[in-house]
Structure 1
Amino acid sequence: MTKNQTATAELPVVTISHIPGREISENLGIVFGSSVRSRSFLFDVFAFFKNLFGGEVRSYTRLLEQAQTEAIERLIKQAGMMDADAVVDVHFSTSQVAYKAAEIFAYGTAVRLK
């Protein structure tokens, strides 16, 4: 498995436009998954002190990693409901949807393989 692929047992999810060694037979359309996460007051207090001294704010990193994982899982579930064999051209986007709430959005193209 390359760095462009997410490890899934049955459904390859890649950031490139093809599955190496396989041919796409049908484009099923766009699939997506999203996760909206918010921070607690306590999170912000710890982050404030971390910012005083510099360095990675690990609690935020973990929060975003969890949101990314959840978004991909939802994308895979939607592709599975379409009976897809893979998802290609996967991208991520993030935005602030409310005060102290961020969304991670994953989207790609569900395909069937020959």
Structure 2
Amino acid sequence: MTVCESHTAEEDVCAACGNRHAVQFSADCPNCINDLRGPFVLKLVSHTELLAFLTAHGLNPVAPSRDSVAAVDAVHMDYEEEVCSREPFEARFTFSADGDTLSLTVDDDLQVVDVER
């Protein structure tokens, strides 16, 4: 996980890191050449509360519709991130759909420590 130190995405993409979101996630498979890089929300897609929220609003990141090329498209719904603390790391990710919101707070161990709906 990386956090852009001077993140400003006023023009849709931050000039410092080139990303829309400050918190980025990366994973490399030790057994093959596959890797995964993108917004931290990719790590959260498997969290039960987020899966329930998405499917309740007609979005399925596990089996996206033809309109969605990849699972990450399903979580490109309205969501905001707030870096609460850098040392130790803590961030809140808030998802919105149909007037409903779900907030997941992640700690320095990259675990969800709080859920607000």
TM score, norm. by length of structure 1: 0.25
Task: Point out the structure with the larger helix share.
Answer: 1
Higher relative contact order (CA 8 A, sep 6+): 1
State which structure, 1 or 2, has the greater radius of gyration over its C-alpha atoms: 1
